[in-house]
Amino acid sequence: MNLKQQQYINGEWVDAQSGKKRSIINPYNQEVIAEVPEGDEKDARAAIAAAREAFDEGDWSWTPASERGELVTKIGHLIERDQEELAYLESLDTGKTMEESRGDMEDIAGVFRYYGELADKEGGELIDAPVKDSISKVVREPVGVCGQITPWNYPLLQASWKLAPALAAGNTLVMKPSEITPLTTIKVFELMEEVGIPASVVNLVLGSGATVGAELSSHDDVDLISFTGGIATGKKIMQSASGNVKNLALELGGKNPNIIFADADFETAVDQALNGVFFHAGQICSAGTRLIVDEAIHDDFVNALVERVKNFKLGSGFEQDTQMGPLISAEHLSKVEAYVEAGVKEGASLVVGGRRPEDPELQQGFFYLPTIFTNCTTDMTVVQEEGFGPVITVEKFRSEKEAVTLANDSIYGLAGGVWTMDIAKAERCAARMRMGTVWINDFNLYFPHAPWGGFKQSGIGRELGRPGLEEYTETKHIFHNLKPEPIHWF
């Protein structure tokens, strides 16, 4: 494997100060695919110190935005150049199919290009002032040192949503990828070194959330924490970040409703309902795991889902006909199993799946069959909690109002979908759904120009779009009196 397999701190590739290593495994067969440093608080502190000095004493934040943008754009070009290698590493590390990983790399390159082009387009604005002969302007400046913590399900995609805007805005940073899927993040740090991002502007520390993540969250020299992950960890980060009142950008997952009205395009809705959950084995924060189906078509819709699910091909992400790969780890597989067991105990009807596959070729991997529950109600654990696996729950509704009420009955508010051919009904539902993104006659579509984030306990702030850049800036008002005169008050 042509990969450094080290941390990147203060412009150097280094091992952990403790000398500890972590084995990275392929979730398809549990083979060890890499040995990387297991960093801890000491490594995090060294990286924070480097980023702090680079911001306070270096030239990066003062570099013209157009020059920063050119470098960020070049990273996108190198990702395109190395797309096949990056996709291979991502599939090896996460178990997802090569087709999925190639698509991720195309999206990631697009994110870097977008923010590279946007870097010099946010120059501030002049505003009117109630004082004659004055200049009043509002400018945006970089926040400072940014701690960035990314999840295991979309390692490099989520990293790109943080790296690209942070660099375009002129910040320095320390990134901690998930300890179980760090390979493509290591590779993109190699690419950032190749394009000439100044030493210590970007720093990479490998290790657990309990050590490296906690240090980033609590350290007073970190000005912003951007985290993508679960609610429990997000709440801990909020508490830790209160020490120096850090800026926060949190994406904390979702339990996303997908409303299917009787007048929807039936075949397309079935197809997209399946894709909205079983793509990457349901390990997607925006997965449409709550199907809310019109009573008039409920039985036919469920039957269509079940028949399609029975024919899914599970297997290695490197086999061309594989439709769904494994879950990420033994620990996560156990969590999904417990989640399904809770659904059965609470009275939901298990109509397909609900167990590990029997295929001998899949026994070494962390596979779980695509699963569908019916007769679900909003008081059930499987309806309310984010299982983060290949599991669909199905609820019935009789009216538009009931559908929206069910959809909003959640502590989450990340995303949701509405399927209907009635334009007015679709727009009414979208307006009333308390979510950061609502898709109409589509699901799980995103692109760099559109902001991403959630309502309620799905998080704070936005990634992507112009708001994604603004997260990495502070707003400053500068008032310049061109003809100062005494006030004669005293």
Cα gap 267→396, rounded to integer Å: 19
- pLDDT value for 285: 96
End-to-end C-alpha distance for the chain, whole angstroms: 75
Residue 477's nearest CA partner among 171, 127, 55, 133 is: 127
Structure tokens at 11: 């412009």
In whole angstroms, how far apart are CA 57 and each of 60, 68, 144, 313, 470? 9, 17, 12, 55, 23
Residue 221's nearest CA partner among 200, 241, 237 is: 241
Give 51-106 as a DSSP string.
HHHHHHHSSGGGS-HHHHHHHHHHHHHHHHHTHHHHHHHHHHHH---HHHHHHHHH
Q: Active-site residue 251, yes or no?
A: yes
Whole-structure pTM value: 0.96
Which among 100, 179, 285, 386 is annotated as catalytic?
285
Task: Enumerate residues 6+ apart whose C-beta is below 8 A from 227.
Answer: 148, 149, 213, 217, 233, 234, 237, 248, 249, 250, 251
The phi, psi pair for 167, rounded to 5°, reads -70, -40
Unique residue bearing structure tokens 């009275």: 347
Task: Assess whether pLDDT exceeds 80 at residue 397.
Answer: yes
User: Mean pLDDT throughout 128-135?
Assistant: 94
pLDDT in tens, 97-111: 999 999 999 999 999
Q: Which residues of 399-414 are buried (b: 16+ CB within 10 A; e: fewer)?
A: ebeebbebbbbbebbb
Task: Assess whether pLDDT exceeds 80 at residue 268.
Answer: yes
- pLDDT value for 124: 86
pLDDT in tens, 8-30: 999 999 999 999 999 999 999 99
Q: Active-site residue 285, yes or no?
A: yes
pLDDT in tens, 194-208: 999 999 999 999 999
In this structure, the chain runs to a length of 490
Residue 79's nearest CA partner among 178, 251, 195 is: 195
pLDDT in tens, 343-395: 999 999 999 999 999 999 999 999 999 999 999 999 999 999 999 999 999 99
Residue 333's nearest CA partner among 308, 292, 366 is: 366
Which among 38, 100, 179, 251 is annotated as catalytic?
251
Sorting pLDDT into bands at 50, 70 and 90, what band is 136?
Answer: very high
Task: Assess whether pLDDT exceeds 80 at residue 83.
Answer: yes
Cα gap 396→376, rounded to integer Å: 8
Task: Assess whether pLDDT exceeds 90 at residue 57.
Answer: yes
- pLDDT value for 2: 81
- pLDDT value for 376: 98
- pLDDT value for 426: 98
User: Mean pLDDT throughout 235-252?
Assistant: 97
Structure tokens at 428: 């009414």
pLDDT in tens, 138-160: 999 999 999 999 999 999 999 99
In whole angstroms, how far apart are CA 154 and each of 1, 19, 106, 108? 21, 28, 13, 11
- pLDDT value for 149: 98
Task: Assess whether pLDDT exceeds 80 at residue 1.
Answer: no
Dihedral class, residue 182 (left if φ above 0, else alpha if ψ from -120 to 50, else beta): alpha
- pLDDT value for 10: 98
pLDDT in tens, 283-299: 999 999 999 999 999 99
- pLDDT value for 419: 98
β pairing state of 257-260 and 290-294: parallel
DSSP state of 368: -
- pLDDT value for 122: 78
